[in-house]
Each structure stands twice: as structure tokens, then as C-alpha cells.
Structure 1
Amino acid sequence: MTEGEFDLFYTAAYPRLVGRLYTLTGDHAEAQDVVQEAFVRAWDRRSSVLTGERDPEVWIRLVAYRLAMSRWRRARHWWELLRGAHAPRPVPEPSPDHVALVAALRRLPEAQRTAIVLHHLCDLSVEQIAAETGAAVGTVKARLSRGRTALAAHLVSDKPHPTEKSCV
């Protein structure tokens, strides 16, 4: 197909193809873009597409359709990512045990609370706690001992734990 023949083909087929793709996409500018891109690809492959036994308009329509679907999928994927990035993530409610532990820890003096949290929740050794807080090793041991005793007193409950079976 010569350049002049391609121009005639383009002039005749372009409006039909844009109309068909417009009904598919619902966006006239998008239809124009994908049909134009399909014609560019047809021109790049004119030796096989435009001179073969197949109808070149069918080939261009199929390429334009695939381009429109690909753009739609990318746009949908982008929208899902955007919407998902700002959607609030569900946060599980703290368990009753967690709430009770935090409340009991708040009732301890700060030095004891710090020693307990660093030792039992952060898995630091007594020596590491002493280095981090600037307290002597013996002081850290005393804070842990007193803190555990006070914490146990704050955590005592008359109600059976949900995992415990009552002896009734």
C-alpha cells in the first residue's frame, strides 16, 4: 500500500473506527487516541497488515480495542491502588487482657514501669536496662521485683479468666 492509498484508507476508516470505539469506551477523546495509535502501529507494519488477505480495518479495530481495554485496566488498577492507599485499615480492638495490662502498668511508678516494659516486653537483660536507664544493676533488679509485685496486685480479679473453667 502506498502512502497515498494509506491516506485514503485512513480518511475513510478513521471516523467509523472512532465511532465504534467511542461506543465501547464512552469517551470520545479516548476513542480517538486508541484508533490513532492503532493506525500508527498499522503503518509500522504496513507490509504485512495492509497488503495481506485480511481486512486492514478489522486488524486496526482489534488493536484499538485491545489498547482501550489495556488503558481501562491500568486506570482501574491505578484507582484501586489509590483508593486502597487511603482507605482506613481495620485495626483489631485490644483484648480485655491487653487493656487491663496497660491500665495496671500506668498505675506503677515510672521507674518500675520502664524496667518491666524493657525487660518483659522488649526482652532486654537486666544489664542492658541498667545501661539504658543509667541505673545500677541492683537498682534495676529491685525495680523489677517491686514492679512485678505491684503489677500482680493491680491485675488480680475476682472474675475467672475467659480461658479458665469455673469449678462450679
Structure 2
Amino acid sequence: MTAIKPVIEGTDITSVEVGNTTLKLKQTVSLDSLQELISAVENFSKFFDLTSLGSADEGIKTEWNEQDLTQFLSKETREDQIVALKVLSDKGEVTREEFLNEMKKLLKNPGFRGWDLGGLLAGLSIRSRTWGYESPYIKEERREGNEWDTFYRIKERYAPLIKKWLKERGP
């Protein structure tokens, strides 16, 4: 059995680590419920291999080289995806709300929604995998204070390449 480790902040459990996988809880759980939570994970793991859980990118380990990334950006990205990469390139890391507001403004589309953002980013990731590479950005959910939020950023190793490509491409 793989070790089950609760992640505790103050007097609450925020997630559970099983091996290399973090299981985020729907809501924080009081330390009083620790044994119940551990029992639930143990019972679940009797039937499911929790170590096989992971992110969508886990199977794709190939890092982009400069030539292929530049070619990919030139051939495979739509205008709204380029705008999204520009936001991430300019801002570094943004919350979902900041990202949506910036996209609405730059695309001049007040109706731009989370579904639209998710779709254009998923398209980038899917086409990256089609090319045999990892996604050039990171979507991460983490706790800030008492709230969970979604954060986006370009992977550090690709930030200078994407910034250079955007500059050479022009407005």
C-alpha cells in the first residue's frame, strides 16, 4: 500500500497525497475527520490504482526545441491562442479571472467566457501532443488564503522563446 499523507493547513486538511499524486478535496476537512478520510482513501484504493492518476500531460515528456516550437506557433496557433500566449508572456502568471478579463479586453469580446478560454488552451495542448511535445503552458490550481484559484503561466523554459516569437511576429 502506498503511503497516504494528508496535507494540513492550520486545523484543516486541504488535500491528500497518495504516492506522487495529490488528491484535492472538494472542501477542506477538519482534523477531527482525519481517520474517516484515511479510511475512505484506503477503501477506494482497494479497487483502484491511485498511483496511476495524474495530469493529462504526464504521458508527454518531450520538451520542445526552439525550431519546432517556433514552427508550431507559426503553423498551428489561431489568433485567439496567440492573444492568450501574449497575455501569459506579458503578465507571467495570472489567475483565471485576470486571464478572462484580459482576453475580453484584447479580443474586444465581452462575451468571452471560461469555456472559450478552456477550449483555446485545450486546443494548444492537444496540438502540442499531436506534434509529440508537452503543452507550453501550465494550468495549476492552488489555495490562496481560504480560496482555491486557477493560475496559468507559460512554462519557464519556453517563456523566452515564446516572447521572442511574439516580438518577431509583431502586433
Pick the TM interval, shorter chain: under 0.3
Q: TM-score, normalised by structure 1?
A: 0.22
More helix per residue: 1
